[in-house]
Amino acid sequence: MSARCKWRMRWTGLILALGMLVSCAGPLRQGGTAPPSAGPTEEMAQPSLTLAPTSAPVMDRYQKDRQMMIESQIQGRGVKDEDVLRAMAKVPRHEFVPPEYLHEAYADHPLPIGYGQTISQPYIVAVMTELLRLRSTDKVLEIGTGSGYQAAILAEIVQEVYSVEIIEPLYLQAKERLERLGYKNIHLKCGDGYYGWEEHAPYDAIIVTCAPDHIPQPLVNQLADGGRMVIPVGPPGSYQVLWLVERQGDKIKTERIMGVAFVPLTRKH
């Protein structure tokens, strides 16, 4: 075989070998370098990106709304207590409103919950809670459970919460809701809140979320020494005042906080 034929055969074999190499590596990228092949780790990780759990916390849908509520409605108006801010950022307010008002759950106003009652404006909830100057060891009495939202906020801060609701359907709804959300330190009673819950008195703090036309003496009597009570007082449908009441031994100190509008305290007749 001539030298020329041998030279041609060598070049033909070399070209065929290069062709096989290119076909195995895949198409060349611009610039002449082949893409790195995906190893086993990359191939296994790929499907997991599309298999996000369908039970991703429903609360996350409202996380941005809660954060905006905290920043604009609460911190923006001067509430500074870190425990109050933490509790309000954690408690899912949307769980405490009727389905038809879910889109307004974090809005800057009260919402109806049925039976002529409301869930208070977030800012008012925060202000009243901050005024109590709560500690983790406190025992708190709430008058007017309503939806249970205020009780949940308190339960995130203190040791025990006792709450009284006079409207039985609201009491039952709140009981089911708070149990479902896992609150073990909230105790509910269906009864006339004017008389408090003497069995567990004295209380380090009392919060009243409905307005009597005067400060009930039974509630004052159930305050511990050094205890604090926040209560709206005034006639229904008219101007009411939020008061801070503090017991200092045998003396009762009262401080006018601001004007408010609450549903009236419902009494048994």
User: For the CA atoms of the chain, what is the radius of gyration?
Assistant: 33
Q: Phi/psi zone of residue 148: left (φ > 0), alpha (ψ -120 to 50 degrees), beta?
A: left
Cβ-based neighbour number of residue 143 at 10 Å:
26
For residue 18, the surrounding DSSP H or E stretch is helix 3-25
Cα dist from 254 to 92, 131, 193, whole Å: 33, 12, 20
For residue 70, give the DSSP letter: I
120 is catalytic: yes
Given a contact cutoff of 8 angstroms between Cβ atoms, the answer to whether 139 and 200 are in contact is yes
Catalytic residue, candidates 23, 48, 120, 238: 120
Under DSSP, is residue 176 helix (H, G, I), strand (E, B) or coil?
A: helix
Under DSSP, is residue 245 helix (H, G, I), strand (E, B) or coil?
A: strand
Select from 82, 87, 74 the least CA-distant residue to 156: 87
Measured CA to CA, the distance from residue 119 to residue 250 in angstroms comes to 34
All residues at 6 or more sequence positions from 66 whose CB lies less than 8 Å from its CB, including other chains: 88, 89, 92, 93, 106
What residues act catalytically? 120
